[in-house]
């Protein structure tokens, strides 16, 4: 079945039904089974036929499931498998860079086997001394996102006060660890006691709090940052951003990575305290990881030794099987995941 001899096999898939303006539900996707020939068609130059091992659940995927005006990324096709990043094994290839048996990561489909034609998104996996799933986490886009968003956008300095929302997530847990390694004071917010424990005990944050237990986020931030916040790594938006704006220090920086609390709302919440930007000379900057691919080698050189030395850890939340993929994706917006949400389709 993995021989790439052209055998036709059944292919379980997660299909995206149609665009959803408000709250995304599991029923907006469904499981089906089709068939696939495990061979790249002859007319498909550069195509790669892969067996998917691990799939990534990321908040940005929500925005491909609505009709967004002028989005940076194309919406998904209703009726087709969900598309996202994954780790896969090459079964057959007409691409000169990839051969049978290689492991790759990049854009693939939510299905057992995928014929990938947009091969420009693929990376070959060279270092297999780490869990393969890391290539959709710490060694993939979430990792580079944390690195670029923290070092490039925030211009952090030792001793600064750093606050991270959604801090136990795929990106946040890394930003916090990078900031600690640099010598910053780091506090994170998350949505459960377990996550708060993880932040304090596993990732080494100086402190952490459960935002759901705080009636007054402004007061909570004043408690954790009596002298204010130099750097805010923004993952959630809405009320949290409003409270942070009241607690920033002079010349603070806000790196806007995402606003996950807003993605299931038809109309985003209003942010009222932007006038704080003026007297405090705050810089607030949005970024996309795509602009920082040139930093990937530098990032891997930094992070791989840290992983191997145990100086940086990475927590994943793994859903087993494609059947559980829709619930895993939905769970991101309810904060159900603890750590990076991964779907294990097959363990090889």
DSSP state of 153: I
Q: How far is the CB of 79 from a copy of itself (least distance, A)?
A: 25
Question: Residue 234 CB: number of other CB atoms within 10 A?
Answer: 23
Radius of gyration over alpha carbons of the chain, in Å? 21
Which residue reads 């990881």 in tokens? 289
Q: How far is the CB of 124 from a copy of itself (least distance, A)?
A: 28
Q: Which stretch binds a copy of itself (CB under 8 A): 125-133, 179-187, 202-210, 263-271?
A: 263-271
Contact set for a copy of itself, span 179-218 (CB under 8 A): none
Total binding residues toward a copy of itself, as defined by CB under 8 A:
35
Q: How far is the CB of 142 from a copy of itself (least distance, A)?
A: 15
Which residue of 130, 277, 300, 304 would you call a contact of a copy of itself, by CB under 8 A? 277
Contact set for a copy of itself, span 65-84 (CB under 8 A): 69, 71-73
Long-range contacts of the stretch 118-122 (C-beta < 8 A, 24+): 119/46, 119/47, 119/48, 119/95, 122/48, 122/97, 122/98
Residue 284 binds a copy of itself (CB under 8 A): yes
Which one, of 137, 138, 105, 143, lies nearest residue 124 by Cα?
105
- C-beta of residue 140 within 8 angstroms of C-beta of residue 40: no
Pairing of strands 48-56, 340-344: antiparallel
Residue 291 binds a copy of itself (CB under 8 A): yes
Contact set for a copy of itself, span 239-258 (CB under 8 A): 241, 246, 256-258
Which residues, in sequence order, are CB contacts of 297 under 8 Å at separation 6+? none
Which one, of 263, 266, 216, 260, lies nearest residue 235 by Cα?
260
Residue 124 binds a copy of itself (CB under 8 A): no
Q: Which stretch binds a copy of itself (CB under 8 A): 3-11, 12-20, 276-284, 340-348?
A: 276-284
Which residue of 276, 318, 324, 346 would you call a contact of a copy of itself, by CB under 8 A? 276
Residue 272 binds a copy of itself (CB under 8 A): yes
Residues lying near a copy of itself in the complex (CB under 8 A) are found at: 69, 71-73, 237, 241, 246, 256-259, 262, 267-288, 291
């Amino acid at each position: 079945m993995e021989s790439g001899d052209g055998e036709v096999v059944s292919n379980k898939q997660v299909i995206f039904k149609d665009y959803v303006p408000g709250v995304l539900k599991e029923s907006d996707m469904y499981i089906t089974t089709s068939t696939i020939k495990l061979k790249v068609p002859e007319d498909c130059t550069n195509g790669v036929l892969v067996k998917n091992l691990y799939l990534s659940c990321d908040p940005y995927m929500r925005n491909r499931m609505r009709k967004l005006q002028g989005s940076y990324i194309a919406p998904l096709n209703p009726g087709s498998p969900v598309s996202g990043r994954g780790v896969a094994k090459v079964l057959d290839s007409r691409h000169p860079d990839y051969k049978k048996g290689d492991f790759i990561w990049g854009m693939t489909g939510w299905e057992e086997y995928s014929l990938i034609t947009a091969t420009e998104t693929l990376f070959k996996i060279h270092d297999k001394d780490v869990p393969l799933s890391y290539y959709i986490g710490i060694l993939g886009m979430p990792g580079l996102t944390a690195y670029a968003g923290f070092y490039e956008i925030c211009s952090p300095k030792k001793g600064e006060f750093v606050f991270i929302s959604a801090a136990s997530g795929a990106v946040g847990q890394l930003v916090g660890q990078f900031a600690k390694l640099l010598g910053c004071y780091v506090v994170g917010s998350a949505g459960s006691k377990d996550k708060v424990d993880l932040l304090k005990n596993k990732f080494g944050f100086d402190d952490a709090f459960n935002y759901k237990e705080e009636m007054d986020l402004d007061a909570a931030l004043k408690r954790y940052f009596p002298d204010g916040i130099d750097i805010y790594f923004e993952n959630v938006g809405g009320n949290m951003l409003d409270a942070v704006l009241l607690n920033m220090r002079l010349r603070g920086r806000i790196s806007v990575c995402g606003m996950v609390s807003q993605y299931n709302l038809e109309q985003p919440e209003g942010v009222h305290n932007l006038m704080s930007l003026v007297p405090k000379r705050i810089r607030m900057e949005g970024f996309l990881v795509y602009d920082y691919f040139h930093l990937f080698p530098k990032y891997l050189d930094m992070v791989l030794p840290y992983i191997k030395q145990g100086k940086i850890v990475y927590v994943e939340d793994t859903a087993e099987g494609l059947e559980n993929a829709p619930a895993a994706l939905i769970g991101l917006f309810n904060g159900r995941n603890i750590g990076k949400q991964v779907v294990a389709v097959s363990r090889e």
